Amino acid sequence: MQYAAEVVEKAREIVDGAIIRLSAEDDPDRHQVVAYDLAHAASGVEACRAVLDYGARGNVEGRLVCVFVADVIHDLASKTFGREDEWGLKPGSLDDLRSFASKFRNPEFVASVATEQGPLHLDPELDMVRDAFRRFATDKIVPRADHIHRENQDIPEDIISGLAEMGAFGLSIPDEFGGFAGEGHNYTAMIIATEELSRASLGAGGSLITRPEILARALIRGGTPEQKNYWLPKLATADVLAAVAVTEPDYGSDVANLITSATRVEDGWLVNGVKTWCTFAARADVLMLLARTDPDRSKAHKGLSLFIVEKPRGDGKGFLFNQDTRPSGTVGRMEGRPIETIGYRGMHSYEISFENWWVPADSLVGLENGLGKGFYFQMEGFENGRIQTAARAVGVMQAAYEAAVDYANNRKVFGQEIMEYELTQAKLGRMAAIIQASRQFAYHVANLMAKGEGSLEASMIKAYVCRAAEWVTREAMQIHGGMGYAEEFSVSRYFLDARVLSIFEGADETLSLKVIARKLLKS
C-alpha cells in the first residue's frame, strides 16, 4: 500500500494547490465550476486517505483500495484536463498519478475484484449489530419493500414497532436520555444499522431510523434541560416520531431567506406560512419547524428560531387538522398535501401550509435563549445527519451490487453467462471497490464524530458517496438489460431511490459550494 499512499499524497497536493489558487481570487464565488469540482475531488481524495489503513489489512483489501484510489485519481485527472491553469497545475503534475491509474484501472485487475467484497473488520459487538439488523431487514422489510414502492404505501406499523423494540430509534440519542449513542462504537453502530436497513429499503428501512437524528441533535445543542429530558427519551423509544419542516417552496436550500413566521402572542406563538419536502410528516407526531421570529428579513438566518410543533397522525393520502379552541382564541389550520415522487416511497413527502397554527411558549427550542438561534440548532442536526445519508447510500449500493451479481451469474447472452464478459466483470469490480471504500470511509468519519470532530468530513462523505450511488445503481440496472427497467426487479427501485440522495438533506450543489468549498478555502 506504500505506492497507493504516495499517490494519494500527491493527489492531495494537487487539491491543496487548487485551493490556494482559488483562494487567491478576488471573489472565489465567481468560479463555481472549479469550486464544485474541487469540492468533489477533495472529497474523493479524503476518502482515499481514510481507507489506506483498511487496504493494508490483507490482499483482497489492498486490491479493492487500489482499484478505488485509481478510480479517484482518474476522476481527478478528468476534472483538470484542459483546465490546468484554473487548478494551478504545472506540466507533469499528473504523471505519477497516470502511472498508478494505468496499472490499477487495467480491466483485468479491476475484474479480479468483481466478486471480492472484502471483510469488514468489525469488532464482535458491531458484528452482532450488523447481523441483528440484517436479519430484521431480510425477514420483515425485504418481502414488502417492492409492494410499498409500487403502491406508494405507508410504512407498516409493525416495522416501526419492531425497530423500536430493537432500540433502533435510540441509536443517535445519548444514553443519559434513554438512547444508545455513547462514545466510540455506538456511533458506528448507528451507521451499520442504517446501511443494513437501507439495503432492504431506503424509504421503509434505513431512512425510518434516521427520523430522530436532526431534532435530537438540535435539542442537544440548544434545548433546555427540561426539553431534553422530556423529548429525547420519547424520541429514543419512538413514542414520538419526528419530521423536519425547514425547506420552503421559493427558497429550497436558501434557508437564510425563509419567510414562514412565528408571531408571539400572549399564550405562545402563531405559525403562518408554507413548508415543503417535509418527509414523513403525516405519520410524525411532531414537526421540527424553523420559522422567522424576527420580522426584519435583513437579519436573514439570525432572525430564525426552532420550534417543536405537536400534531395528530395522518396517512399518506394527505391530512387536514383544525385547532377549534386554543388559549389564544384563534382557529388554527394545518394542511398537508402529498408530493408524488418517482422513488423514496413509504416515507411520503408533503407540502404543509400553516394558518394561525398555535404552539405553546415552551415549544421554542431553548426558550428565550433560543430566539434567533434556530438556524444554528438545525444545522447541528443536518451535519450529523449527513453521515447517516452516506450510510443509506452504501446500503442501496450494496443491494444493487448483489442484485447485479446474481443476475449476471444466472442470465446468458450470446451463449454465455453475462458474468463471463470482461465488461461485466470490470463494472462489478469497480462497484465492489467503491462500496467497500465508501463503507470504510463512513466508519472513519463515525470515529471522528464520536470524538467531536469530522464536520467537514461528514459533508465530504455525503457528497462523494451519494454521487457514487447513482453510478453503481445505474450500472446494476444496466447489467439487467431490459429487465432492469421492469418494476418486477428490485434494481429499478434502487436506481430511483439512489437519485434522491444527492438532493435531500442539502442539495449536492449547495453542499459542495456553500459548505465544503468554503471550508476548504478557509482552512
Q: Which residues participate in catalysis according to the annotation?
A: 505
Given the DSSP bridges, would you call strands 332-339 and 319-323 parallel, antiparallel or unpaired? antiparallel
Taking Cα atoms as reference points, which of 409, 378, 219, 354 lies closest to residue 304?
378
Instruction: Please answer whether residues 378 and 214 qualify as being in contact, where contact means their C-beta atoms are separated by less than 8 angstroms.
Output: yes
CA–CA separation, 320 vs 334, rounded Å? 6
- To the nearest 10 degrees (0 to 180), the angle between helices 95-104 and 2-23 is 140
Task: Give the length of the chain.
Answer: 523
**Which amino acid does the sequence have at 386?**
R
DSSP 24: T
Taking Cα atoms as reference points, which of 264, 244, 472, 427 lies closest to residue 349?
244
Beta-carbon contacts of 27 under 8 Å, excluding residues fewer than 6 positions away, are none
Question: Which phi and psi (to 5°) does residue 118 adopt?
Answer: 85, 150
Q: What is the DSSP string of 184-222?
A: THHHHHHHHHHHHHHHH-IIIIITGGGHHHHHHHHHHHH
Q: Which helix (H) or strand (E) holds 56?
A: none
Taking Cα atoms as reference points, which of 200, 222, 185 lies closest to residue 403?
200
Q: What are the b/e assignments for 29-47, b being 16+ CB within 10 Å?
A: eeeeebbbbbbbbbbbbbb
- Expressed in angstroms, the distance from the first to the final Cα of the chain is 28
Taking Cα atoms as reference points, which of 459, 390, 469, 399 lies closest to residue 192?
390
CA–CA separation, 333 vs 325, rounded Å? 11
Instruction: Please answer whether residues 278 and 287 qualify as being in contact, where contact means their C-beta atoms are separated by less than 8 angstroms.
Output: yes
CA–CA separation, 37 vs 32, rounded Å? 8
CA–CA separation, 243 vs 163, rounded Å? 17
Beta-carbon contacts of 259 under 8 Å, excluding residues fewer than 6 positions away, are 248, 250, 251, 273, 292, 297
Q: What is the DSSP string of 390-447?
A: HHHHHHHHHHHHHHHHHHHHH-EETTEEGGGSHHHHHHHHHHHHHHHHHHHHHHHHHH
